[in-house]
Amino acid sequence: MELIKKFISISVLVFLCFSNSFANQDEIKKMIKKNENYNLGLSKKDTTVQGVKLKPLTKIDAFNYSVKKNYGWTKYGVKVVNSSEGLPIRYGDTSLRFELHHEDCGFLYKSGKERDCIRSTAHHRFEIGTSKNKKSPTGYKHNQDLWYTVSFFLPQEHKFYRKQSVYQFHSSEGPYNPPFQLEIIPKKGLMVKILTSEGVYEETVGDCGGSIKEDIIYCEKAEIDYLVMTPDELENSLGKWSDLIIHAVWDKRPSEDEKNKGLFEVFINGEKKVHYTGQTMWDVGLSVVRIGIYQSKEPRTFKGKAATEQQMKDTPTIMFYDEIWVKKKCKDLKLDRLGYSCENLENQSDENTTPYSITKASQSEYIVVVKNKKDDTVLIKIIGDSKEKTEKEAMKKCKEKSDSSIKDSCYIHYSSMKSQY
């Protein structure tokens, strides 16, 4: 009888997690139209969000366009759910439920184009975060020392078909990749990715600066990855809450600067997994929080099994978040509510914080591709040790190969530092 009761309770929870009873279009529109002080409609005493103000990271014109296109995320993208509904709650009475389907798209770039869906690798998302309003930006500044918590829950029926961001710190401006990202990479597990250790180099084409298109984008010179959950541990976490605690000291100075005090310490379910020192934010703007579902639409392999296109179409991603806190001191997080203590965290050694991998872009080789606008048979590819020198050499060869009447139509199609691993 006890087993039957347990089965029924799990079945009810699965039904509630995946049911279509979360139509919420008017409330999502309200969250978007209101400024961050609305804070998703949560009360000031609600423990779901404390010390930070959040709102959906899409503009009202993108939302209205997506309503016309009948994108489902406008109805179920995010919803504040209550313990009385029988849904997963980490602590207190509420949590945030996110949902995204394979066909959902709607983040706009310019002129009604669906930005995420036309990238070289198609993505889709529904995220909340701190404001990117340039008139009144809210984020974290150079020299700030802060503590963060966030708890997340993936239902038992979740499938690891996609690469997916769980939590990230981004730059408030500029075409940069996020300095810090907690990401599910199905083949590897749950990873922390840090991109600020050696700064950036300039790029004119490509996708390295994120999906924002600018004349110049900025690519990280190095990436440090830390494994915080193996694929087996990820699978065992389904149907359970996972608790993330981050201690960040924000520092925009280069890692080699003797005055740099930058720090990332990351704990997952109370165990220290990351201890990084060095540059922690880009040298422009503020660091801002991004929370929610942001994932690739490209099928991935998990524990040797590759997802099919049909499986991805049939399986929505549903995720719950709770206890999103930001405080100046560890003690202010009141970690006892989650079953942890600052003393235990601060006394842990760094023995399990060795990076999983370090990837660096070579600073000694550049690759330049030059074409001719009037003759598509002309294609020059040169690799050299200086960007300016290599571009000059490639342009010279293009003019030599082109007919005299069209040699002035040569142009630099691609110019970038060559990546090496």
Are 15 and 153 members of one domain? yes
pLDDT at 215: 66
Contact status, residue 331 vs residue 342, Cβ threshold 8 Å: yes
Encoded tokens for 24: 């919420």
pLDDT at 326 exceeding the cut of 50: yes
Specify the amino acid at residue 28.
I
Q: Give the structural domain span for 369.
A: 361-420
Contact status, residue 175 vs residue 181, Cβ threshold 8 Å: no
Quote the CA–CA distance of 268 and 337 in Å, as a whole number: 16
Residue 407: pLDDT band with limits 50, 70, 90: confident
Are 315 and 400 members of one domain? no
Contact status, residue 280 vs residue 196, Cβ threshold 8 Å: yes
| Range scoring the smallest mean pLDDT among 112-126, 240-254, 260-274, 317-331 | 112-126
* Domain edge (last residue) among 304, 339, 355: 355
| Range scoring the smallest mean pLDDT among 100-114, 211-225, 369-383 | 100-114
* Domain edge (last residue) among 339, 355, 371: 355
Nearest to 282, CA basis, from 203, 145, 171: 171
Q: CA-CA-CA-CA torsion for 407, 413, 416, 419, nearest 10 degrees?
A: -120
pLDDT at 4: 43
What string of H, E and C letters represents the secondary structure of 273-325? EEEEECCCCCCCCCEEEEEEEEEECCCCEECCEECCHHHHHHCCEEEEEEEEE
Phi and psi (nearest 5°) for 374?
A: -105, 0
Are 370 and 394 members of one domain? yes
Quote the CA–CA distance of 152 and 241 in Å, as a whole number: 6
Are 314 and 414 members of one domain? no
* Domain edge (last residue) among 355, 382, 398: 355
How is residue 184 annotated by DSSP? E
Residue 367: pLDDT band with limits 50, 70, 90: confident
CATH code for position 312: 2.60.120.200
Are 235 and 365 members of one domain? no
Specify the amino acid at residue 134.
K
Those residues with Cβ within 8 angstroms of residue 85's Cβ, 6 or more apart along the chain or in another chain:
16
DSSP 225-282: EEEEE-HHHHHHTTTSEEEEEEEEE---S-TT-TT---EEEEEETTEEEEEEES--S-
Contact status, residue 136 vs residue 352, Cβ threshold 8 Å: no
Are 61 and 148 members of one domain? yes
Are 251 and 370 members of one domain? no
Encoded tokens for 147: 């503590």
Q: How many domains does the chain have?
A: 2
Contact status, residue 296 vs residue 163, Cβ threshold 8 Å: yes
Quote the CA–CA distance of 227 and 182 in Å, as a whole number: 10
Query: Pairing state of beta strands 271-277 and 263-268?
Result: antiparallel
Quote the CA–CA distance of 321 and 242 in Å, as a whole number: 10
pTM of the predicted structure, to 2 decimals: 0.82
pLDDT at 345 exceeding the cut of 90: yes
Quote the CA–CA distance of 290 and 54 in Å, as a whole number: 9
Cα 119 to chain centroid, rounded: 16
Are 232 and 345 members of one domain? yes
Q: Which of 294-308, 328-342, 358-372, 405-419 ranks highest by mean pLDDT?
A: 328-342
Are 186 and 69 members of one domain? yes
Are 280 and 393 members of one domain? no
pLDDT digits (tens, 9 = 90+) for 3-61: 444 333 444 455 455 554 556 899 999 999 998 899 999 999 999 999 999 999 888 88
pLDDT digits (tens, 9 = 90+) for 239-288: 999 999 999 999 999 999 999 999 999 999 999 999 999 999 999 889 99
Are 264 and 390 members of one domain? no
Those residues with Cβ within 8 angstroms of residue 187's Cβ, 6 or more apart along the chain or in another chain:
231, 300, 301, 302
Encoded tokens for 254: 């280069």
Are 375 and 278 members of one domain? no
